[in-house]
Chain A
Amino acid sequence: MSELEYYAQNRRGVSGWFKVRGYVIERKLYALHRITGILIVLFILPHFYSTGWHPGLWWDALLGVIVTFHVANGLRLTLLELFGIGIGKPLLVKKPFQRPVSIEGKQRYLLAISIIIFIALALIWSYYAILVKPLMGG
């Protein structure tokens, strides 16, 4: 009986968070933001427990990529949601096959800037993790 109800309910559940195929890139960024957030929480637990532990060279760089993505995307989301920067104005006239203004308007510039910030921060972090920190004593 519960088998019947499960299929009839037709809820995607957690797999719905990660169903990104066929949708715009912002959907993929949302999934990545969620994944990186959870991974950061998983890193923070051993970091607190054994004071200041952090993984070695390349793993530190990977951690850097995860954290800087979450930061850069988070900045984009803060600007969009709190201040409405890049979200555009509601339209009075819609053209045929109109693409949504909130996605494919000025928001794409904000997206490009946040990706540039992400790459820049990730490179700086990796530089410190791989080249500078070992010289300081690991």
Chain B
Amino acid sequence: MESSMDLWKPVGTVKIRVYKYNPKKDFAPGWKEYEIEVSRGTTILDALLRIKEEIDPSLAFRYSCGQALCGSCAMMVNGRQMLICRTRVLEVVKDGKVELRPLDNFPIIRDLACDFKSFFDKHRAVKPWIIRRDVEELENPTGDYKQTIEEYARYYQFTDCLLCGACYSACPTVATDHEYLGPQALAQAYRYIIDTRDEGLEERIAVVDSDHGCWRCHFATSCSDVCPKYVDPAQGIQLLKKLIMRSKLGFKPHKPAEVLPSKIGEVKKR
């Protein structure tokens, strides 16, 4: 009878081809190949950690949770953006080789680690927080903001974003346009605009309806194709375009959510 420990029995060796580049020291990037013994359950992250421990301690890469929750370990595996902590080596091996590169279109810090500064700046530029105008309620809250399950369903999908950078890396517009906001920021802009608790439509439209905003998206859909949390940023951007067109005709996306007075502090009479 097969036991679950069969998942961890070594089944062979795989060559992991890693992009090695230190911008401060090397003139040009190079590749290094490591041979690693794998089992059915070995993830690429497991293999890289084994390489770092036993073969080459100078290898630089990012990882954190190991369970596709933090978005730190996104990189190019055989030419496609993936989270390596949840991709098994035997799933992606081609002719006994797995090729690892840092994410496309991100500046490289070293080897497989990239610089995310401009990516996070673009996320901040769309104001990813709830904007309310009722100062009185914000200063002295009397309760929660009402929201039905249907209104929640309109934006819940986009809240799963890990900011891993896979969608931004896969986008063809990002390849040439370094000012383009990117699918992640635009999908988050839509998530906040369509949230009924939010009243920041004008501020966000000014950012998103610009030369390098949502209209530089041409529906190549690679962002949704590679997203590890199935956030579907392409859908968010097309819905955002539709929303902008409707707002030009005067239609608002939703009425601002009302306050549901809270009963905390009210003493129940027995």
Contacts and interface: CB of A to CB of B under 8 A. Distances in A.
A135 interface: no
A48 interface: no
Interface string B144-181: 00000100111111101000000000101011101000
A30 B172 CA distance: 9
Contacts of B236: 90
A83 B242 contact: yes
Q: Which of under 10, 10 to 19, 20 to 34, or 35 or more describes the interface residues of B?
A: 35 or more
A26 B107 contact: no
Given A8-B107, A16-B104, A90 B158 contact: yes
Nearest to A76: B219
Given A4-B27, A90-B232, A100 B224 contact: yes
A77 B235 contact: no
Q: Which of under 10, 10 to 19, 20 to 34, or 35 or more describes the interface residues of A?
A: 35 or more
Interface stretch (A17-25, A38-46, A55-63, A122-130): A17-25
A100 B21 contact: no
Interface string A54-98: 000000000000000000000001001111100111111010001
A10 B242 contact: no
B221 interface: yes
A121 interface: no
**Residue picked from B29, B102, B176, B178, most chain A C-beta under 10 Å:** B176
Contact of A13 (B29, B176, B242, B245): B176
Given A16-B105, A81-B242, A100-B235, A26 B157 contact: no
B242 A82 contact: yes
B235 A87 contact: yes
A10 B102 contact: yes
Given A11-B178, A12-B105, A90-B158, A24 B27 contact: no
A136 interface: no
Contacts of B172: 16-17, 19, 27, 30-31
A11 B180 CA distance: 13
B79 to A, nearest CB: 5
Nearest to B170: A23
Given A80-B219, A103-B221, A90 B176 contact: no
B259 interface: no
A69 B242 CA distance: 24
**Residue picked from B172, B174, B241, most chain A C-beta under 10 Å:** B172
Contact of A27 (B79, B153, B155, B225): B225
Contacts of A103: 221, 224-225, 234
Interface in B216-257: 218-222, 224-227, 230, 232, 234-236, 238-239, 241-242, 245
Interface of B: 21, 23, 27-29, 78-80, 102, 104-108, 114, 149, 152-158, 160, 170, 172, 174-176, 178, 218-222, 224-227, 230, 232, 234-236, 238-239, 241-242, 245
Interface of A: 3-5, 7-17, 19, 21-24, 26-27, 30-31, 33-34, 77, 80-84, 87-92, 94, 98-103
The 10 A-B residue pairs whose C-beta atoms are closest, nearest first, are A16-B175, A102-B235, A100-B224, A8-B23, A30-B220, A12-B175, A90-B157, A92-B153, A84-B242, A98-B230
16 contacts: A3-B28, A12-B176, A13-B175, A14-B176, A15-B175, A16-B174, A16-B176, A19-B172, A23-B170, A26-B221, A81-B219, A84-B239, A90-B154, A91-B156, A91-B232, A100-B227
